[in-house]
Amino acid sequence: MSAGTTFLQDRFERKARTINALLIRELMARFGHRNIGFLWQVLEPLLLTLGVMISWSTVYGERNHGVRVIPLVLTGYTFITVWRHMNSRFLHAFRHGSGLLFHRQVRPADILVARGLLESVGTLIAFFVAYLPLRLLDVIEPVDDYLLLLSGWSLLCLFSFGVAMILSALAHFSDAFERVIQPIMYLILPLTGAFYMVYWLPPSARQIVMWSPLVNASEMFRAGYFGAEVPTTWNWPYLAIWTIAVNAVGWLLVLKAQRHIELE
């Protein structure tokens, strides 16, 4: 019994150390030691969000369809950033990370976990780095419900992680897939729900977009931000089932790809 516990503990600790090391390596590999280094991880999405915030504010004024524009952009771009970054980062993860596989402890899946963590946490930091000063200057309203906001965010990150795993494995097996996936990702942007609120749509369109798990996540994220002031609809069990499903499929595919790599 105790031997079993220590064995598990040992494994867990080793895994944590590996992923931690990969996380830091990823940070350094991407941004280097020069100038502000890894803070680019935060600054990149921040710049995008601020830019869009300014341009949308000039186009729509303070409110768009009765929803404040600045928080709308802040939530929307935070949302879209994690989804797009995770997918594009994972696409070449196996090829870029192949050098690491000389280390006996590093498995391809570990690289994905490290990258996923980095994207999720980095983007959330960017969100708060934008949120706090705007809040202190009283430009935006406070977050209404952190539980909803962060649950929506966590589910979004896990869902994106699952989808990104599937994409990375498929990209490993098929070069053609790797080519077509970028335009496809671009085309399904409307299905992410980042640029609109569901209640703006006519009822028939609402039913269609609510099939998209990402729309559920974005509505949940915004429900957490705006509270009852803005009407939102979401179905978290539906989103959770999707998340579990894509993660299960993703893990299977990644394990398969992993074996394929190790055989080479």
Partner 1 sequence: MALPRRGGLFQWMSRHYALTVFVAVFIFPTLLASIYFGLVASDCYVSETQFVVRSAQKSSAEGAAAYLQDIGINRANDDAYAVQDYIISRDAMHAISATIDLRKVWSPAGADFISRYGAGPFNNDNDEMLYRHYKSRVKVEKNLETGITTVRVTAYRASDAHAVAMKIVQLSEAKVNAMNNRARADRLAAARREAASAALQLSQANVALTRYRDSAGLVLPEATAEADVRQKSMLEAERTRIDAELAGMVARAPGNPAIPALRRRLGALNREIAAQSAKLTGNGDALSGKVSGYEQQLVERELTEKLYEAAIKQLDTAIDEANRQQIFIEQITDPNLPDTPVEPRRLRYMFTVALLSFWAFLSIYLLLSGGREHLNMS
Total residues at the site for partner 1 (CB under 8 A)? Answer: 33
Report if residue 220 touches partner 1, rule: CB under 8 A. no
Between 10 and 229, name the residue whose CB sits nearer to partner 1.
229
Report if residue 199 touches partner 1, rule: CB under 8 A. yes
In the list 72, 118, 155, 169, the residue contacting partner 1 (rule: CB under 8 A) is 118
Report if residue 153 touches partner 1, rule: CB under 8 A. yes
Question: Whose structure tokens read 């980042």?
Answer: 194
Between 1 and 147, name the residue whose CB sits nearer to partner 1.
147
Q: Based on C-alpha coordinates, what's the Rg of the chain?
A: 20
Q: Which residues contact 7 (CB under 8 A, 6 or more apart)?
A: none
Report if residue 238 touches partner 1, rule: CB under 8 A. no
**Which residues are bridge partners to 64 per DSSP?**
67
Report if residue 229 touches partner 1, rule: CB under 8 A. yes
Q: How far, in Å, CA of 71 to CA of 24, rounded?
A: 31
Q: How many CB atoms lie within 10 A of CB 179?
A: 10
Which one of the spans 51-59, 97-105, 225-233, 244-252 is the region binding partner 1 (CB under 8 A)? 225-233
- 185 touches 103 (CB < 8 A): no
Q: Which residues contact 58 (CB under 8 A, 6 or more apart)?
A: none
In the list 51, 66, 133, 142, the residue contacting partner 1 (rule: CB under 8 A) is 66
Q: How far, in Å, CA of 129 to CA of 60, rounded?
A: 24
Report if residue 122 touches partner 1, rule: CB under 8 A. yes
Which one of the spans 86-94, 112-120, 203-211, 237-245 is the region binding partner 1 (CB under 8 A)? 112-120
Question: For residue 80, what are its two tokens?
Answer: 């879209």
Q: Which residues contact 126 (CB under 8 A, 6 or more apart)?
A: 41, 42, 43, 44, 45, 46, 49, 78, 81
Structure letter (DSSP) for residue 102: G
Number of H helices, E strands in the chain: 10, 2
Q: How far is the CB of 175 from partner 1 (least distance, A)?
A: 33
Between 38 and 236, name the residue whose CB sits nearer to partner 1.
38
The crossing angle, in degrees rounded to 10, of helices 69-91 and 108-136 is: 160
Between 66 and 262, name the residue whose CB sits nearer to partner 1.
66
Site for partner 1 in 15-54 (CB under 8 A): 20, 23-24, 27-28, 33, 37-39, 41
Report if residue 67 touches partner 1, rule: CB under 8 A. yes
Which one of the spans 73-81, 121-129, 206-214, 251-259 is the region binding partner 1 (CB under 8 A)? 121-129
Residues lying near partner 1 in the complex (CB under 8 A) are found at 20, 23-24, 27-28, 33, 37-39, 41, 66-67, 117-118, 120-122, 124-125, 128, 145-147, 150-151, 153-154, 199, 227-231
